[in-house]
Amino acid sequence: MKNVIELKNLTKVYQDIETVNLKKITVQEGEIYGFLGPNGAGKTTTMKMILSLISPTNGEILVNEKNITQNKNYLSQIGSMIEEPSYYPNLTGYENLLVFQKMLGFDKNNIWPTLELVGLAEEKNRKKIVKEYSLGMKQRLALAFALVKQPKILLLDEPTNGLDPAGIHEIRELIVKLSKQNGLTVFISSHILSEIEHIADRVGIINHGRLIYEGDIDAIQSNTWIEIGGDFSKDNIVHTLSMINKVQILEASASQIKLANMSNETLADLVTYLIRNNYRIFRVTREKESLEDIFLSLTKED
Ligand SMILES: Nc1ncnc2c1ncn2[C@@H]1O[C@H](COP(=O)(O)OP(=O)(O)O)[C@@H](O)[C@H]1O
Ligand SMILES: [Mg+2]
């Protein structure tokens, strides 16, 4: 698998503070890489360094296996959305992209297909001026700006910020389409795991500029346990449970007990035992810590 973006010992120091310190991050060809971290973690700073908008204090950035300092042309392969571009409010989407085209000089014939790709080319939208765009349409136009050069890599910094749930859904679908149908490599940041978890192939989680997890979302180890709901008000349930082998009590109340994970066999025996001892059972479930909880605990302030 080819590494499209590679960061090596990349640091950025602002006023003696190491805002970014990333030993190694690799983004592979064709994948959607979710770059996650709370506000202030260093996501935008990292992306700006990849785009040469600011220079690193130390370290290396490779794009398509070449150091960007030795490859001046690399930016033509990256479409980016770091901050919302400033539009001409009284021009249509097409006209806005045309102004951009005159500045950058890419093929003018890219414009309509790009507008089509982001869903802004239908009859009802063609003549609309940007002033009349919804927030979601503006965000899609921002994506069109990133895409109109027909890049192979997309760098998106919190592209769903400020959007309503429908707008978030729209942008997400579009990003998946770009990656899976058009083969783009996508590096996308967010401070909300749930926004990324269903679309990212892999994630990197950063906090205080440092990588604290990188890999498949599915491989993030989450705690599991067993919950039994019932009427445990009669005599001492903790004492009763402590008589049983292999059962470790995490919490107990009159209506629910929480136990360390166990095999199906042990669980079946336990439930049988409780029923035989006249406890009334309403519910038996295996529970799993949510990814959002793990993300929050990984990135919480100590
Ligand atoms: N130009 C700058 N000068 C000084 N500090 C900065 C500058 N840009 C960003 N920072 C600081 O670097 C840290 C990371 O910021 P940023 O990369 O914007 O985080 P994120 O995008 O993850 O929210 C923050 O503490 C921010 O205040
Ligand atoms: Mg940011």
**pLDDT for residue 7 is more than 90:** yes
Task: Give mean pLDDT, residues 150-160.
Answer: 94
In ligand 1, the atom with minimum distance to the C-alpha of 45 is: 17
User: pLDDT grade, residue 52 (50/70/90)?
Assistant: very high
Q: Which ligand is nearest to the CA of 43?
A: 1
> Which pLDDT value is given to residue 93?
96
Mutate to test the pocket of ligand 1, among 12, 19, 161, 193 (most ligand atoms within 8 A of CB): 19
User: pLDDT grade, residue 236 (50/70/90)?
Assistant: confident
CA of 191 to the centre of ligand 1 (A): 14
**pLDDT for residue 156 is more than 70:** yes
CA of 9 to the centre of ligand 2 (A): 20
CA of 7 to the centre of ligand 1 (A): 18
Window from 125-129, 185-189, 292-296 with minimum mean pLDDT = 292-296
> Which pLDDT value is given to residue 106?
87
User: pLDDT grade, residue 302 (50/70/90)?
Assistant: low
User: pLDDT grade, residue 281 (50/70/90)?
Assistant: very high
Q: Give the Cα-Cα-Cα angle 238, 242, 247 (nearest 5 degrees).
A: 105
CA of 155 to the centre of ligand 2 (A): 12
User: pLDDT grade, residue 188 (50/70/90)?
Assistant: very high
Domains of the chain, start order = 3-219 (3.40.50.300), 224-292 (3.30.70.1150)
Q: Is the C-beta atom of 44 inside 6 A of ligand 1?
A: yes
Closest residue to atom 6 of ligand 1, CA basis: 14
Task: Give mean pLDDT, residues 189-217.
Answer: 91
User: pLDDT grade, residue 5 (50/70/90)?
Assistant: very high
Task: Give mean pLDDT, residues 235-263.
Answer: 88
CA of 44 to the centre of ligand 2 (A): 4
Q: What is the mean pLDDT of the chain?
A: 91
> Which pLDDT value is given to residue 223?
83
CA of 133 to the centre of ligand 2 (A): 24
Q: Is the C-beta atom of 282 inside 6 A of ligand 1?
A: no
Closest residue to atom 18 of ligand 1, CA basis: 44
Task: Give mean pLDDT, residues 166-194.
Answer: 91
Q: Is the C-beta atom of 42 inside 6 A of ligand 1?
A: yes
Looking at the chain, the whole-number percentage of residues with pLDDT higher than 90 is 70
Task: Give mean pLDDT, residues 188-200.
Answer: 89
In ligand 1, the atom with minimum distance to the C-alpha of 37 is: 22
> Which pLDDT value is given to residue 231?
94
Closest residue to atom 2 of ligand 1, CA basis: 14
Please write the tens of the pLDDT for every residue from 79-133.
999 987 789 999 999 999 999 999 888 899 999 999 998 989 999 889 999 999 9
DSSP string, the chain: --EEEEEEEEEEEETTEEEEEEEEEEEETT-EEEEE--TTSSHHHHHHHHTTSS--SEEEEEETTEEGGG-GGGGGGEEEESSPPPP-TTSBHHHHHHHHHHHH---GGGHHHHHHHTT--SHHHHT-BGGG--HHHHHHHHHHHHHTT--SEEEEESTTTT--HHHHHHHHHHHHHHHHTT--EEEEEES-HHHHTTT-SEEEEEETTEEEEEE-GGGS---EEEEEEEE--SS-HHHHHHTSTT--EEEE-SSEEEEE---HHHHHHHHHHHHHTT-EEEEEEEEE--HHHHHHHHH---
Mutate to test the pocket of ligand 1, among 25, 35, 45, 188 (most ligand atoms within 8 A of CB): 45
